[in-house]
Amino acid sequence: MILQGFQALAVGISKTCSLYFFPMTRVAVAIISKNGKVILCQRKQGGRYPLKWEFPGGKVGPGETIVGCLERELREELSIEVTAIDRVESARAHYDDGGLFEVAYCHVSTFDGEIKNNVFESVRWVSPSELRAMDILEGNAEIVARLADA
């Protein structure tokens, strides 16, 4: 159950049940495809989830749309402008440290500009077969499996 932007998790101990409320963070990320590959970005060593690979994107700000967020994040992170989003899939991800995310996976087929790494440890184009070998954020496991099987 979601209550005003918070996710309620029931934790049972013996016959009692307590509710803990954690904030749900809305995130927009891009699955950018080109020449049969997708782009992955490696998080910085000193940040949350260090050196994990992820799709570019970030948190949706107050009053911001999914598309607006994605456009802003891709300009900031990779210096590109989105020109076409083919489809959007959504999923929820929970991490052991309490992170709860509602993720909009935006399939970007075209963009303007040359990709420039502005914020990541590394940026790579990878084939679907390479995806399973990457140390990907656990919340992206389901979509990575679908992409790898495609």
Structural domains in the chain, sorted by start: 24-149 (3.90.79.10)
**Containing H/E element for 36?**
none
The residue ranges of DSSP E strands in 70-145, in sequence order, are: 81-94, 100-112, 122-126
Q: Are 48 and 128 in contact (CB under 8 A)?
A: no
Higher-pLDDT residue of 117, 139: 117
142 phi and psi angles, rounded to 5 deg:
-65, -45
For the stretch 98-138, pLDDT in tens is: 788 999 999 999 999 999 999 999 999 999 889 989 999 98
Contacts of residue 126, Cβ cutoff 8 Å, sequence gap at least 6: 37, 38, 39, 40, 134
* CA separation for the pair 63, 66 (Å, rounded): 10
Pairing between strand 57-59 and 16-34?
Answer: antiparallel
The mean pLDDT value of the chain amounts to 86
One-letter identity of residue 135: D
pLDDT at residue 94 in the model? 84
